[in-house]
Structure 1
């Protein structure tokens, strides 16, 4: 028997963990397959977060977890440090933090979101068909997924088995990296010479020395302690008594990129999609941002909100970003060579970057703050990151990034009315005021918009300069076809949420529920019929008797559907569709084919949409009515 998930992610590193969190926030059934038994990493691998990655984490409300563990500093560099402290962002710095800490924090977050991880297992094979992917694991288990995402590193089995080319530049140099004990005091710091670039540093919380040595010739295979000793002697004239290696590895300046990030139901992200030299600290950051770009799009496809063609925008947007990263790291590698010609070039670039304009351009590039997706002509904000403004609303002060904590899109209206009635269940609407300057890195001041539509990844999908021209097209492009709703169905934003119960009266008929408390950023559906009403949380199925009919709010394949059931004879009911999140499904014939009612047992309604039969179940246990329903296809 196969365990099934909507999405299976192969690889539990930073990219895979971030993607899992994004999908879990969107209520997608996602699981990770990770070959390591725990989240521990061999060696203290450098991590480091650039400003845009910190912003992305702030958009999910988890940036402080990282900031509290690392050290903020100016980490961006090209031919020397690039100071971005004058950039218009709340996070005008980078964060020095080892990768093992980054992974643990992400893993804790994913654990809070209840994402299952198949640890100690590897994917050995997979086969995809028109509806999903069968995944074979090393322990003999099989998984079934609608989509498979390879986040399994530069040697990605997923990429290789999908037949996706990995094109680019062969290595011109390689480095040994090790953690060893030394009996003699080492020469701490970075050394550049004709023999290459080398570094010796202390390992955090240990007596070990971290060694990085450029090799005279490109090395291959797994390194040995003997090779490290020989390289130390060649670079420093002594091996400092190196012994007892706890970690040995090798990396090169090879730069390669997947020709395509997608093959039907198989996708790639992070190092599986692009590899390059670690100089500049771009790899982890690019992978995390891949995940944030892909996550919400994949969720909408899984839920049936958007067509699969939305996934093509992942390739269109992220492939050029990584292509630029590859060329940047090639340039950085050349700048850091120790020969006299490279030194002269390095000094010239360093002098150039002391001038404000080049510093700002390169600082924005290295920090990720200048990423621009080509969404067409228009306002400079279009396709760029939305600044984390301090807004003023009728409910009080509000940060833009707070709106994105649950990975939902938002329309912020600064002036005028912009009607998005057909999309209320998908896009949060906020009326706000902002009197400060509108400023972007490198570009500087831009005109204040009257409204902005922000995608879940924090990039601006539409900008108004006084009219709603293009708004409906942007909504349909990024968030699916418009909803169809009965006038009695409306969605409202709320401030806090909790599961509620309602007491059954003595006559056995449930009273309308009292308004519950609501969770920040949540949205509820409200149906009114006469003097009675029904309140429901998104994707939670609840029933109530309204005007002698049973109203059910459910989620059918990602569409929010309101059914009003009329009883025409005992044991049978006829359903009328009031609203749906997908007009194609709304047009389908909907009929209740089975109905049973018992207060101390289980009520089951089978709903046929013409494609799938769904079972909506609510468990009753007098004297309380508790929502325990989940939707399942049969």
Structure 2
């Protein structure tokens, strides 16, 4: 019997496959398309996604392929959020077309040993107490697989979600956005052009050699809601909003999407889980869908691996829904707010845009708050009242004495115990920096003093960081004996210790 089957070979499913393989879990990916879709549904990568790539040692291979833009938009307002103020090694947006993201992620997953089957479509499932029967159809005909867990990463029309009976409530479409990939003979002089007025909204960015993405909302009625608009209609829309058609010709792909937004009522049903667009449908506002999905996989991967391998403490896999469902809900709120700004062109809404635009331009704290929410940097999971304030937050790439950073320590996909006393005073008995603990997940231990000072970290003497880079435990305890005891308790909570009778 297989250990995990993933349905959907997009960025979410492929990254989840890589995370599982990093822990040695047997994983099969079923992707119904025989060939990768060459058209780019997404092209915006935010800092937190680049951080997770870096935390597995593959960041540079992705970043080197894209175009860096030091700011990003909120609702396509004229003034943009400044990403250079964010505490991250990647203080920018990366313009990188989704097909390239998929290509790189698939290569990474295959190198780790993932079985990626293209041209294989999921058709049905039967969930039993200790297994799932997955029915699929491939080039050789229909077949059945047994697996311990099934993860639906198969998009907004998820067949896995439907077969599992998981609800997908939300709101219907009240607006429509168009996307066209075309040649521009007279492209904008800036790498990220945007314009909004009473006629609608336009965004233009380069997405590859000789191609630009032209996207936006039509406030003139030139494009309509049904059918594929002709090239001349696209040019008329551009002239109405931007004052020029940029020499648009030869569109290779034209697509539209409504503003409907939905959120699965459960991310887990027994041995079935959902991630990415199968769990949430978002209006395309700043590429948040692609990033949210990959970060779902980042949260789920190590937890599912721990469950399959038998060392997960009670409730660990349930914490996937508990942590990511609220993030999905918050992101829906964020995109719905932007949808109102991006799709309504009444005098009242244009005035609201002006007010918010001034706030971004004049109040740096407001701009930074929005940037942290949109970029994923601000995502934090719940903590108990007695926990240190850092618990649940994303750990920054703390610089250590040898010039390395925390993200490099996360590459093996293990917990990281940081002794920041500089002398090993926080390490419980039997734990040293020379080897990992003899527990199934392993442990990376580092005794050091951070070179840089961070708000919230200045008095921290020890911390335990999860495999996904969020803080599991931290302490400012001055007494060394009490500090070691607290560290031992925190470590014990990461692993289910099974007795012979359990």
> TM-score band (shorter)?
0.7 to 0.9
1:60-79 pair list within 5 angstroms: 60-78=56-74, 79=77
Provide the residue aligned with 1:451 in structure 2: 462
Q: 1:120 to 1:409 in 2, by over 3 A?
A: same
Provide the residue aligned with 2:427 in structure 1: 418
- Within the candidate set 375, 378, 381, 1:373 is matched to 381
Q: CA deviation at 1:89?
A: 2.4
Provide the residue aligned with 1:163 in structure 2: 165
Max Rg structure? 1
Q: Contact 1:174–1:215 (CA<8 Å) still a contact in 2?
A: no
Q: Contact 1:379–1:463 (CA<8 Å) still a contact in 2?
A: yes
Q: Deviation per CA, 1:250-273, whole angstroms, max 9, x where unpaired? A: 212211100000010000001110
Q: What count of residue pairs does the alignment treat as equivalent?
A: 472
Q: 1:424 to 1:121 in 2, by over 3 A?
A: same
Provide the residue aligned with 2:128 in structure 1: 129
Q: Contact 2:120–2:136 (CA<8 Å) still a contact in 1?
A: yes
In the aligned structure 2, how far is the partner of 1:362 from the partner of 1:96?
A: 19
Q: Contact 1:75–1:95 (CA<8 Å) still a contact in 2?
A: no
TM-score with structure 2 length normalisation? 0.86
Provide the residue aligned with 1:479 in structure 2: 495
User: What is the DSSP-based 3-state SS (H/G/I as helix, E as strand, rest coil) of the residue aligned with 2:44?
Assistant: coil
* 2:347 matches 1:340: yes
- Within the candidate set 14, 19, 26, 2:16 is matched to 19
Q: Contact 1:177–1:213 (CA<8 Å) still a contact in 2?
A: no
1:298-447 pair list within 5 angstroms: 298-306=304-312, 309-336=315-342, 337-353=344-360, 354-377=362-385, 378-392=387-401, 396-415=402-421, 416-419=425-428, 421=430, 424-425=438-439, 426-439=441-454, 444-447=455-458
Structure 1 portions without partners, runs of 5+: 482-582, 589-634
Q: 1:435 to 1:119 in 2, by over 3 A?
A: closer
1:268-279 pair list within 5 angstroms: 268-279=274-285
Q: 1:479 to 1:49 in 2, by over 3 A?
A: farther
In the aligned structure 1, how far is the partner of 2:216 from the partner of 2:319?
A: 39
Provide the residue aligned with 1:88 in structure 2: 87
Q: Deviation per CA, 1:120-175, whole angstroms, max 9, x where unpaired? A: 11101111101111111123022111000000011111111111111122111012
In the aligned structure 1, how far is the partner of 2:406 from the partner of 2:12?
A: 24
Provide the residue aligned with 2:480 in structure 1: none
Q: Contact 1:215–1:231 (CA<8 Å) still a contact in 2?
A: no
**Which structure has more strand as a fraction of its residues?**
1
Q: 1:366 to 1:242 in 2, by over 3 A?
A: closer
Q: Contact 1:181–1:207 (CA<8 Å) still a contact in 2?
A: yes
* 2:105 matches 1:106: yes
- Within the candidate set 49, 52, 62, 1:53 is matched to 49
In the aligned structure 2, how far is the partner of 1:158 from the partner of 1:338?
A: 38
- Within the candidate set 143, 146, 149, 1:147 is matched to 149
Aligned-residue CA RMSD (Å): 2.8
Q: CA deviation at 1:424?
A: 3.3
In the aligned structure 2, how far is the partner of 1:43 from the partner of 1:256?
A: 24
Q: Contact 2:428–2:485 (CA<8 Å) still a contact in 1?
A: no
In the aligned structure 2, how far is the partner of 1:99 from the partner of 1:225?
A: 23
Provide the residue aligned with 1:5 in structure 2: 2
1:225-244 pair list within 5 angstroms: 225-226=229-230, 229-230=232-233, 232-233=235-236, 236=239
Q: 1:280 to 1:469 in 2, by over 3 A?
A: farther
Q: Contact 1:413–1:429 (CA<8 Å) still a contact in 2?
A: no
Q: 1:75 to 1:8 in 2, by over 3 A?
A: farther
In the aligned structure 2, how far is the partner of 1:471 from the partner of 1:101?
A: 42
**Which structure has more helix as a fraction of its residues?**
2
Q: 1:477 to 1:232 in 2, by over 3 A?
A: farther
TM-score with structure 1 length normalisation? 0.69
Q: Contact 1:42–1:247 (CA<8 Å) still a contact in 2?
A: no
Q: CA deviation at 1:95?
A: 1.4
